[in-house]
Amino acid sequence: MERIVSIFRNGRSQAVRIPREFELPGKRAILRREGGRLFIEPVDDASLASVLSGLEPLGPGDRLDVVEDLPADRIDL
């Protein structure tokens, strides 16, 4: 699906009017340029608390393996 849309100035920025059938969820989006094209993608604004609340709690038989001495080249920052 495609549609011609309006481009206009909003203060010192250029803006595009997004028609209702193309509306994105949320309040923020990622804008990226590839060559002469612009891509707009919605950003998932899930908070850490909402992500953690969606996880299943560990049961009594569950355990986490803790690695005490991880080699320096295996540490991901």
pLDDT by residue for the chain (77 residues), tens only, comes to 899 999 999 999 999 999 999 999 888 899 999 999 999 999 877 778 877 888 888 888 887 777 777 666 765 55
d(CA 7, CA 14): 7
Q: Please report, for the chain, the start and end positions of each structural domain, with discontinuous segments joined by +.
A: 1-45
pLDDT at residue 76, as a whole number = 58
The pTM of the full predicted model, rounded to 2 decimals, is 0.52
What CATH number has the domain spanning 1-45?
A: 2.10.260
Closest CA to 30 of 42, 44, 47, 45: 42
